Structure 1
């Protein structure tokens, strides 16, 4: 998962370049545009996910609960993008307190998203690959799943605490929001922990579990019954493809500080970071094009909105017609009264 550390720290090194002005100007346009795109589509899409799974599906399955948790985490992530967009285009003007909050929410999303996807993977693995051992009532599974969601958020919040503590606004050639660690060893340790627990271990778990799941389904006659698995698998694949390049660059930079001064590395960071930011708006797209249940509920919502508008127009027309009839009757009565002798 993406963190803003690399881009914000690069602000310090970019100021030393005079020959890289064109790249800097381009990035000040490119990054805010990407942030705005992800924010707009992600906000609409994830709110739609919450409406459909909470109000239409009523959280009928454990997967629905996990997907709502994932959409909530994405909304936390998306709420930070307007701040990073302005900072990328100009500078950080929101103060140290907001810096701590924004970076903390950012890291909270990092762990919550990955741990939730890991929970979904393990749940599918137990339900499909370990079907003989998965004879647990739906009620118990729902209780356990909700407890796991709460645990995921608590653990994620605990891992986000360093960002709330060490993040601050700093003034160099311009104001930036970054993490000021006590030492490089502390920074390296936290980033290795973040990449290990927040990315590589969950990714390894997903690869192993889904390899077994796919093998199991290929040997099963009821493969068509597991079409709903496609949406979960697609979410995880897209997440890995969008997050892996950026996280690898972060790991390389943490180990080899000389990459700070490499122009090609700087360009790679900006591009992969922009790709990674898109994950917040991609999940709802996957739900729509792959999830049949999601698409049907979305179509129902659109039909209800159109029906509501049509009924509103009909009521307005009927009201107008009634008022016109009353006016006509009143005017007729006035005429009849005026013709009566005094």
Structure 2
């Protein structure tokens, strides 16, 4: 993958020779630079604040309140952790977008690798969750009998996922550097290998896992549509929601970078740079969307959230909490007769 903050490193394309344009195109270029100068830092700040609060809350609930009953629960705990690491890098990029890069080469290399680490860790964890849900739904009896064994695999799977993602991030770490144009810029500057590296990373870290998820979910859909019971169909909606948000937010940005790395002429198109900037913002928003999804669709998450609120002494001031709890108890009663492993998918 090329520089995760590609739009920040694009000041090197300010050479008027790239554009070979009359005055109006030069003005359009200046308008884009002004747009990017304010738009991305604002996005970074919003994602940082919302992502820090939301993912910290999710992580606290997972550690202190959530009972890790399945492999999926173990894997899910790594998603907010990866997002939390990522959002903590955004203040650096916000400052650099407004001013310039002042944090040195080591920090530059590290932060360039963090986005890639977050992207592939999240993608691979979602793939592992897909495999686990495939076993739970399609091979429910076998999965139930091997539940303890699958739980023992959890730590090994998580460690392997993080190690593999770190290896995928090495090009950003190795070739990231600080260069001076009109100001100091932290970027991924090795153009000779960027296309090859990006193609390899996207193949093994995105397209192959995506293909695996499509195949598994196709079978899961077929199985659930033939099953009776509301809870199974509700689980079908929930399981797609988390994965769909990841794919829809991440695919445009990575495809735009892949296209740009193969065709230098796109550097001359102002509209394409707008596309890179906007799709990058959309990709980063995912880091603060997952906690919102958990809160709205996760019965266990909401129940544990109210336990946390009660423990810190805020519950008497929240009159609506009883309604939330009543709704959750009703949902829990309705689903009690279902097979726990097969129907608790993504209740979080």
| Fold agreement, TM-score > 0.5 | yes
SS of 2:182's equivalent in the other structure is coil
Structure 2: gaps spanning 5 or more residues: 20-25, 318-348
Matches within 5 A, 1:72-87: 72-87=81-96
Contact kept, 8 Å, 2:2 with 2:172, in 1: the verdict is no
Matched residue, 2:59: 50
Matched residue, 1:281: 288
Q: Does 1:141 align with 2:150?
A: yes
CA deviation after TM superposition for structure 1 residue 303, in Å = 2.2
Aligned pair partner of 2:198 in 186, 191, 210: 191
Q: CA RMSD in A?
A: 2.1
Matches within 5 A, 1:1-342: 4-14=4-14, 16=16, 18-19=26-27, 20-181=29-190, 184=192, 186-225=193-232, 227-306=234-313
1:291-314 Cα deviation digits (max 9, x unpaired): 11101111221122226999xxxx
Structure 1: gaps spanning 5 or more residues: 311-342
Contact kept, 8 Å, 2:48 with 2:91, in 1: the verdict is yes
Question: In structure 2, do the counterparts of structure 1 residues 270 and 236 end up closer, same or farther at CA, with 3 Å as the change threshold?
Answer: same
TM-score, structure 1 length as denominator? 0.84
In 2, the alpha carbon distance for the partners of 1:215 and 1:77 equals 36
In 1, the alpha carbon distance for the partners of 2:112 and 2:6 equals 13
Contact kept, 8 Å, 1:230 with 1:290, in 2: the verdict is no
SS of 1:306's equivalent in the other structure is coil
In 2, the alpha carbon distance for the partners of 1:297 and 1:14 equals 52
When structure 1 is superposed on structure 2, of 68-77 and 52-61 the one drifting more is 52-61
TM-score, structure 2 length as denominator? 0.83
In 2, the alpha carbon distance for the partners of 1:92 and 1:115 equals 31
Question: In structure 2, do the counterparts of structure 1 residues 162 and 307 end up closer, same or farther at CA, with 3 Å as the change threshold?
Answer: closer
Contact kept, 8 Å, 1:15 with 1:173, in 2: the verdict is no
CA deviation after TM superposition for structure 1 residue 212, in Å = 1.3
CA deviation after TM superposition for structure 1 residue 100, in Å = 0.8
In 2, the alpha carbon distance for the partners of 1:15 and 1:52 equals 51
Contact kept, 8 Å, 1:2 with 1:246, in 2: the verdict is no
In 2, the alpha carbon distance for the partners of 1:209 and 1:259 equals 36
Structure 1 runs (4+) greater than 4 angstroms displaced: 307-310
Contact kept, 8 Å, 2:309 with 2:315, in 1: the verdict is no
Contact kept, 8 Å, 1:62 with 1:142, in 2: the verdict is yes
Contact kept, 8 Å, 2:224 with 2:232, in 1: the verdict is no
SS of 1:177's equivalent in the other structure is strand
In 2, the alpha carbon distance for the partners of 1:215 and 1:11 equals 50
- What is the aligned residue count? 308
In our comparison, the structure showing a higher alpha carbon Rg is: 1
CA deviation after TM superposition for structure 1 residue 142, in Å = 0.9
Contact kept, 8 Å, 1:36 with 1:82, in 2: the verdict is yes
SS of 1:134's equivalent in the other structure is helix
